[in-house]
Each structure stands twice: as C-alpha cells, then as structure tokens.
Amino acid sequence: MAHSGKDRRIDYIEFIVGDIARSRRFYGEAFGWTFTDYGPSYCEFSDGNLKGGFTTEGSAKPGGALIILYADDLPEALKKVEAAGGRIVKPVYAFPGGRRFHFADPDGYELGIWSDK
C-alpha cells in the first residue's frame, strides 16, 4: 500500500466543550477560525491549515485536547500502537467520514487515530 504523505502524522485536534456556540464565538473572534456544523453535538473548525472539532460528547478536560493522527492503514496502526505498549481505550468505530480508535500512551495521554479507508 502506498503511503499518503500524512501517514502517522498529527491530522486533527478535538476539544470536548460545554457549549459549541460559545467555542465557535471565542475561536472565531480571537483567531478567525471558520466552522462547519455536523449536528447539534459536533462542529469542525479550521484555522486555514489544521482542522479540528468541538464536541459536547464527554466531559470537558481543561488542557486535554484530543490529538488525532491519520493512518493510511488503520488495522496496521492499531497493531503498532499495541506492540509499542499503547493501551486501546476506545476500539475501532465508524463515524461520518471514516473509522478511528483511541489509545493511551505509556503515560496515560489519550490520542486517536483515524482513517478514511
């Protein structure tokens, strides 16, 4: 399988927020970010370079944005995470646009890996 050039790179950052409208207003006014809504509990943002999202699904964790990497081959990425000592905290699941899983690194930091394949 040919690699996309973004394989295993930080691709997306997700913030769990208490109020999506408040977050849109703050980041739009402070930084000029643009937004795309995907229902009442999810809003994607773009700073012109990196994309991310605001979600109300979960509890806000100050200082705890979810960093999401992209993988050309999600099953292979999962195997590598486990082999390196990562702990799967949310098994592979589908969402609009692809599939992803979450893992904890050896220090307990939670990250996600997604793929559109």
Average pLDDT score over residue span 31-46: 93
pLDDT of amino acid 41: 94
pTM: 0.69
Percent of the chain with pLDDT over 70: 97
Q: Is the pLDDT assigned to residue 58 strictly greater than 90?
A: no
| Sheet of 51-55, strands arranged across | 34-37, 42-46, 51-55, 9-16, 66-70, 110-115, 98-104, 87-95
> Mean of the per-residue pLDDT values for the chain?
88
CATH class of 9-115: alpha beta
> Which band of pLDDT confidence, cut at 50, 70 and 90, is reported for residue 31?
confident
pLDDT of amino acid 1: 64
Give the residue extent of every domain in the chain.
Answer: 9-115
